[in-house]
Structure 1
Amino acid sequence: MRTHYCGLVDETLIDHPVALCGWVDTRRDHGGVIFIDLRDHEGVVQVVVDPDNAAAFKTASAVGYEYCLRVTGTVRRRVSANERVKTGHVEVLAERIEVLNAARDLPFVLHETTNEDLKLKYRYLDLRRPDMQRAMRMRTRLVSALRRHLDARGFQDIETPILTKATPEGARDYLVPSRVHAGEFYALPQSPQLFKQLLMMAGFDRYYQIARCFRDEDLRADRQPEFTQLDMEFAFVEERDVQDAVEDMIRAIFKEIADVELAAAFPRMTYEEAVRRYGSDKPDLRIALELVDVAEQVKQVEFKVFAEAASDPDGRVAALRLPGGADLTRKQIDELGAHVAKHGAKGLAWIRVDDRAKGREGLNSPIAKFLDDATLTALLDKVGAQTGDMVFFGAGEYKTVSDFMGALRLKVGRDRGLVENAWKPLWVVDFPMFEYDAEAGRYVALHHPFTAPKVDDVADLKANAKIAVSRGYDMVLNGNEIGGGSIRIHRPEMQSAVFDLLGISADEAQAKFGFLLEALKFGAPPHGGIAFGIDRIAALIAGTESIRDVIAFPKTTSAQCLMTAAPSPVPVAQLTELHVRVVERDPKA
């Protein structure tokens, strides 16, 4: 049907016949000559329709925006070159134009709309946009490059089940009712975690999979109910073995796909240091601003918000210096207060340094009256404040303060243009093994229940669960966690101890994980692995904030597909066959 792609017509084809297929990007009628920009996934080429060719001219006169055409003609040099497109030195003189399919008026102009819901409803139109075409082709190259890299290094691509057993991994499972086992359900995998561990126990040594995963959780810009990850597992390894191997892979992939030279060696930072300095376990190192602990400077002050947090072993008083921030207006400061409130802050204290040399008289602050001169001086010295700076303060429970001050750091860094134009990868290591869920009254796993602790002794782990450190690690790039993994538990007694600390009884553990506990008894090797978010990596390379821009058919933030209207009701007869009955939700519940 075609001999060439529109976007690949070049000067080597001058005086040669071509047959092209594509969509009408624009149509222009200039003094009796019609110009059509014909577009396919490779790009756009200009088609010229001369009035001397009556049949072609008649057809061209009637075509509209996004009509699907087949054009045959001869390539010639353009009189006026267009340097903005790669076909800008040539054009095609049409001999015949066929309308393969007309297009009715589109619900939006492809390159103009900003209505996300409209684009998702007509996703097949949105995907025609050159930006989306480029993003999806880049994603294809990314996945291909990952496969080639791993295939060349002895990894085996092994598929694991999609219909599997529900496991607690921090989010709700999507459940699938069984027709042949009445009242029983499969779960869609949140990850292939247990199966890849079993593969190591089966002796496969190095595994990978481009895996589809499913999590029924609240969505954000970087979350989807179904997503794709590169899943990997290694036998007989320690942390550094995994990290070095995948670090080499990410360096090679970014060079091949994005022509980006990442650091020759990624820095390593403990979880504790990352949260203390940046208020986040995925710090964006492109922003030089850092949090500073000032509890020692405010333990004795009259300001109870500071003093109580400073004296609490689980509290924190943190400061953030914004160089040159004294020009912030009161309205802007209030907006920052509203922003940190979304992240748990009950308030945002601040000191504006108008003239450091004037002492108290050179400061503007609603909290200065609660602080004596010595404390003010100590605080400003601690953070290195100079004339023209703004210093923000947060006080309260350690994690809450870290969260909202970390969010403040990102907000002012981006708003003030303090984000370095660079790629800043790092490893965050030594995560806590557990965190305490006060509402549930028990510990929960910070990564997942199969992550190994740094201690080998079960009694030691149980005695020091609150401060236990795991063998988990995350790869972070420009403030995004792109990969997370750990060394796994490979001894049954340690796995049982972790289940116990997580409030999973022996009976429950046997019911949910009996197959794993059994497998661990048959010479399970030390093993570890990692999973990378394909969607997140593709979004970073594409330079977009949302992974929806690199997924062909994404869901909305309410987990709906506007194009197909999924999820949707199903007939009662089908539910009956599946032994399922829909119970109406109580609106008061």
Structure 2
Amino acid sequence: MYRSHNNGELRLEHEGMEVLLSGWVQKVRDKGFMVWVDLRDRYGITQLIFDGERTDSEIVDKARSLGREFVIQIKGKVIEREAKNDQMPTGNIEILVSELNILNEAKVPPFTIENETDGGDELRMKYRYLDIRRKPVRDNLIFRSNVTMEVRNYLSKEGFIDVETPYLIKSTPEGARDFVVPSRMNEGQFYALPQSPQTFKQLLMVGGLDKYFQIVKCFRDEDLRADRQPEFTQIDCEMAFVEQEDILNTFEGLVRHLLKEINGVKVADFPRMSYEEAIKTYGNDKPDIRFDMKFGELNNLAQGKGFGVFDSQELVVGIAVPGCSEFSRKQLDQIIDFVKTPQVGAKGLVWVKCNKDGSFKSSVDKFFDQEQLKSWSEELGASAGDLLLVMAGEADKTRTQLSTLRMEMAEQLGLRKPDEFAPLWVVDFPLLEWDEDTKRYHAMHHPFTSPKPEDLELLDTNPGKVRANAYDMVLNGNEIGGGSIRIFDKETQSRMFDLLGFSKEEAQEQFGFLMNAFEYGAPPHGGLAFGLDRLVAIMGGQETIRDFIAFPKNNSGRDVMIEAPSMIDEDQLKELHLKLNLK
């Protein structure tokens, strides 16, 4: 037996007990006459004492030889600590060691295994197995485990069946780039790794399973960012004989349950917001509603007054930033510099101070009088002491730029509180997007999304105006899940493929199996998929997902620990009927 207790459980009530402990050496403090060792495992840290008067001298000398991260086992007696440490659960006791066994020596680690480490991201990812020993990373992985267990428990109680779907599937032209896998036994042919189990979960509904879920790996060969990895995990769900309201209620319930059980937070409500309203009011389709700063359009109030910057533009739009009327000129210049950065791409902005005495001071005073500036403040819902920030330009681009500025100001003002949760549903997305490069429509979600029933007739006359029977769940300014009611009849699905530019032959080749299934009695069905990595990170108070993934990739999509992707040898290439051309 390596241990009788773990390193986080011993307390004063165990005083006098003889125990066996094992773990990693966190720290050694040699005071000459006495040696203290902090012993760490997943559960916590226990202090060991090697006393020259009470411990065999050979064991004390052996303790002095210990290095950081040595794996050891000790036997000893629980005693009360003289200098107690109320910052750790085991801080009232220590172990007077009588036996010491070095199970494995260790090289000096490349960074300190502490809560605050001196290792950079790349170094910690290269030695991820060491990084996992650090409490913040370990706690994140335990947190993720707790979330997934609650998901499984909740969905199982709601009657969902956990079903695995294939990883080796067929490549399709819609969506992001596929990762492809060559087939050795079928020369010149390839599997694709699934971007989602979409068609399979629909087939499970045709099969009559009624409620399906799966916590599943998905793969997309896309450019990476802080909240995206080439392989990611979805909570994938589908239900039969449902309408949109059934789905929204079911998964509101799941998120309420998770926030209550994991974070101890009760969510009052899940507002519903149309895609059009989200874009007009917040400049994006995943608004953070923990704070206000809603957009106000000023065309009628700001144009035609002789200020050419506004008069020549499609949209003049602004926000009221609370409590910032006393910003200095230097602070205002920093905001202007921010909107001119490549990440925003604006040429500048106009500012107006709503002074506490009711007057106004702006960067455009010679064009607008006090009454006109007052009308701006009223339109933007400002109060005395607020700062108006106004931008102008082409509508879509300007809304996006102001949305980025809104989030930046919220960040500066501490309004994006990680322990505050504000979910909402964004609904009524456009079904289709027109692509100028290809001169055809693309599905905004995917080609299996059903149109809103009342918009069906527009498919033939004005497809760009058709709304999708689709919905996204947004949490704290992040899309954490999305789904739709699906097309479940062959005729409508065929019309959709026509609109997306598929020939009959292409549609049959790519999705014939699904179209054929619809001929055998497909029920009305719909579903939703949560991005587990992003959901867990936000619930954990962060927005970067990497520290909630055991072995993440870097921003180039590489696993720097195992050095993947990597070359394969000539014999493997020949077996797969491939030839490498590096010219």
TM-score, scaled to structure 1: 0.93
Structure 2 CA distance for partners of 1:433 and 1:207, relative to 1, 3 Å:
same
Q: Counterpart of 2:291?
A: 287
Q: Indicate the residue corresponding to 2:321 in structure 1.
A: 322
Distance 2:355 2:155 in 1: 58
Matches within 5 A, 1:574-589: 574-584=572-582
- DSSP 3-state at the match of 1:216: coil
User: In 2, distance between residues paired with 1:194 and 1:94?
Assistant: 61
Measure, in 2, the Cα distance between the counterparts of 1:499 and 1:348: 43
- The residue type paired with residue 65 of structure 1 is R
1:243-282 → structure 2 map (5 Å cutoff)? 243-263=248-268, 265-282=269-286
Change (3 A) 1:374 1:61: closer
Match for 1:568 among 566, 569, 583? 566
- Paired position in structure 2 for 1:190: 195
Distance 2:322 2:464 in 1: 37
- Contact 1:424 1:478 (8 Å CA) reproduced: yes
Q: Does 1:390 align with 2:387?
A: yes
**Structure 2 unaligned residues grouped into runs of 5+:** none
The verdict on how the C-alpha distance between 1:467 and 1:370 changes in structure 2, with shifts beyond 3 A counting, is farther
Deviation string for 1:263-314 (max 9, x for gaps)?
2x3111111111211112111111221111122224434444433434xxxx
**Which residue of structure 1 lines up, in the alignment, with residue 124 of structure 2?**
119
Question: In structure 2, what is the Cα distance between the partners aligned to 1:151 and 1:386?
Answer: 50
Partner of 1:436: 434
Partner of 2:474: 476
Q: Which amino acid aligns with 1:285?
A: I
- The aligned counterpart of 2:28 is 27
**SS of equivalent residue, structure 2 residue 215:** strand
Report the TM-score, using the length of structure 2 for normalisation.
Answer: 0.94
Residue aligning to 1:511: 509
2:349 is aligned with what amino acid? A
Q: Aligned letter for 1:323?
A: P
Structure 2: which amino acid aligns with 1:448?
H
Is 1:378 the counterpart of 2:375 in the alignment?
A: yes
Given the alignment of the two structures, is residue 419 of structure 1 paired with residue 416 of structure 2, yes or no? Answer: yes
Alignment of structure 1 residues 88-167 onto 2, 5 Å? 88-111=91-114, 112-167=117-172
Shift of 1:110: 2.0
Conservation of the 8 A alpha-carbon contact between 1:135 and 1:542: yes
1:346-385 paired onto structure 2 within 5 Å: 346-353=346-353, 355=355, 362-365=360-363, 367-370=364-367, 375-385=372-382
Q: Matched residues in 2 for 1:373 and 1:9: separation?
A: 70
Confirm or deny: 8 A CA contact 2:240 2:524 kept in the other structure: yes
3-state DSSP of counterpart to 2:313: helix
For residues 344 and 494 of structure 2, the distance between their equivalents in structure 1, rounded to whole angstroms, comes to 35
Counterpart of 1:219 in structure 2 is: 224
The answer as to 2:520 corresponding to 1:522 is yes
Identity of aligned residues (%): 43
**RMSD value, Cα:** 2.1
Q: List gaps (5 residues or longer) in structure 1.
A: 311-315
How far has the Cα of 1:47 moved from its partner?
0.7
Maintained 8 Å contact 2:112/2:118:
yes
Matched length: 576
**Could you report, residue by residue, the CA deviation over 1:231-289 in whole angstroms, capped at 9, with x for unpaired residues?**
000000011101111111111122222222222x3111111111211112111111221
Deviation sequence 1:439-497 (CA, Å, 0-9, x none): 33222222111111103675422322222111111111111111111111112121122
Q: Which residue of 2 aligns with 1:551?
A: 549
Quick one: distance in 1 between partners of 2:273 and 2:455? 25
Compare 238-247 and 350-359 and name the one that shifted more.
350-359
Pair 443,327 (structure 1): closer, same or farther in 2 beyond 3 Å:
farther
1:180-230 per-residue CA deviation (whole Å, 9 max, x = no partner) reads 111111110011111001100111100000100011111111111101111
Distance 1:193 1:335 in 2: 46
Is the Cα contact below 8 Å between 1:10 and 1:87 reproduced in 2?
A: yes
* Residue 404 of structure 1 pairs with residue 401 of structure 2: yes
Q: Distance in 2 between matches of 1:137 and 1:541?
A: 13
Contact 2:110 2:119 in 1 (8 A): no
SS in 1 for 2:448: coil
SS at match of 1:584: coil
Matched residue of 1:326: which SS?
coil
- 1:269 is paired with a residue whose SS is strand
Select 1:75's aligned residue among 75, 78, 84: 78
Structure 2 residue aligned with 1:313: none
User: Any idea what the Cα deviations from partners look like across 1:71-100, whole Å, max 9, x if unmatched?
Assistant: 111112222321111111111111111111
Cα offset for 1:393? 1.9
Q: Cα distance, 1:31 vs. partner? A: 4.5
Correspondence for 2:204? 199
